[in-house]
Amino acid sequence: MNNEISINEDYISWIKEIKNKIYHLQIKATLSVNSEMLNFYWNLGKDIIEKKTTKSWGDAVVEQLGKDLQAEFPEMKGFSRSNLFYMKKWYLFYNEQATKIQQAVGQNFSPRKTDAIEKIQQLVGQIPWGHNILIITKIKDIDKALFYINETIINGWSRAALRIHIETDLYSRQGNATTNFDITLPQPQSDLAKQTLKDPYVFDIMTIKKDADERNIENQLTKHITKFLLELGAGFAFVGRQYKVQLSEKERFIDLLFYHLKLKCYVVIELKAGEFEAEHAGKLALYISAIDKTLRTETDNPTIGLILCKKRDKIEAEYLLNVLKQPIGIAKYEFSKAIPNQLKSELPSIEEIEEELSNDETKR
């Protein structure tokens, strides 16, 4: 293929058409409007591919196009050579992946492929351009890409948050905890609860010691509650640490207590520095019953519990959970690199939460 481009009538007509589209967009709405801009980027990426194919133009057309558009619209960003190549790569990624899916089910070139591409175009248009670039440069599989797009839309992730979830492979961890929710919770709460939990959880706490005990881990998690909530996922509202429950004449203290807004239930979390043992589940079941009796109202769904441990035998955990009446999940946790500074304000009210924790410690 010739990598040079001559300024012929075909190119002149094409660049004029593109400029007219941009002027129309500027009148209708500025390109800073995400959906309008991404719709334009998508179609421009498609145009570049089609022109290179039908006109036998090489990659030089992208550079020429960038120069012409930047000269015509100097105040607008987005028409650099690299960004134009991203538009091309972006469109190709989803178009080629959709083609492979259609071929796998024997529907190549059917109207269903067109429908699928249109739905994908609508979906990717709901997240910022920088998020889209991150996904197509980090992800090779369309199912994973669509997963991260949907999660970004649901959770309102920043680009830094999205990067962390991709790098810690949330796609493979989501809904992977060992639970007994199928036999202890009604539908559809059981499915939503299972999808809410992960395995393993990855916490970014640099000050954790290798041989840290449960209280030290708990201290660090509550000290950095913003990071902890970010890893737990959307919907978790922090209620308290070392939450006191009265059982007959004895006082018991729950490691961490949350309320989940989507599940509409309390979530009791117990931290174990070592390997999961059967008595851990029995203790958690007791706490779940206590919360159901003391805090749960008629509008709340059944309280669920989660044991976070360093190690666990999956088969043993499954056998044990099958004989328990309370809904419990068991998942591992591990520590990784520090979260970037951009995420420190990802969740609001950290000062209020830390002040509440300090007050609780003073009262005890």
Q: What is the pLDDT of residues 292-319, one digit of tens each?
A: 999 999 999 999 999 999 888 888 888 8
Q: What is the mean pLDDT of the chain?
A: 79
Region 85-105: mean pLDDT is 77
Number of Cβ atoms within 10 Å of the Cβ of 348 = 9
- Residue 104 burial (10 A CB sphere; 0-12, 13-18, 19+): exposed
**How many whole angstroms separate alpha carbon 350 and alpha carbon 262?**
21
Domain boundaries, the chain: 9-126, 178-363
Express each pLDDT in 225-284 by its tens digit.
666 777 788 888 889 888 998 877 788 899 999 999 989 999 999 988 888 988 899 999
The full length of the chain comes to 364
181 Cβ contact partners less than 8 Å away, ≥ 6 residues apart: 189, 190, 193, 194, 304, 327, 329
Express each pLDDT in 181-232 by its tens digit.
999 999 888 999 998 998 888 876 544 454 556 666 666 666 666 667 777 8
280-284, Cβ contacts within 8 angstroms, sequence gap of 24 or more: 280/307, 280/309, 281/307, 281/320, 281/321, 281/324, 281/328, 281/330, 284/326, 284/328
**How many whole angstroms separate alpha carbon 221 and alpha carbon 228?**
6
Rounded to the nearest 10 degrees, the angle between the axes of helix 225-232 and helix 214-223 is 90
**How many whole angstroms separate alpha carbon 117 and alpha carbon 94?**
7
Q: What is the pLDDT of residue 339?
A: 45
**Global pTM?**
0.67
**Under 8 Å between Cβ of 256 and 271:** yes
Q: Which two three-digit tokens encode residue 127?
A: 């997240």
Between 3.30.420.40, 2.40.30.10, 3.40.1190.20, 3.40.1350.10, what CATH number should domain 178-363 receive?
3.40.1350.10
**How many whole angstroms separate alpha carbon 131 and alpha carbon 293?**
44
**How many whole angstroms separate alpha carbon 57 and alpha carbon 59?**
7
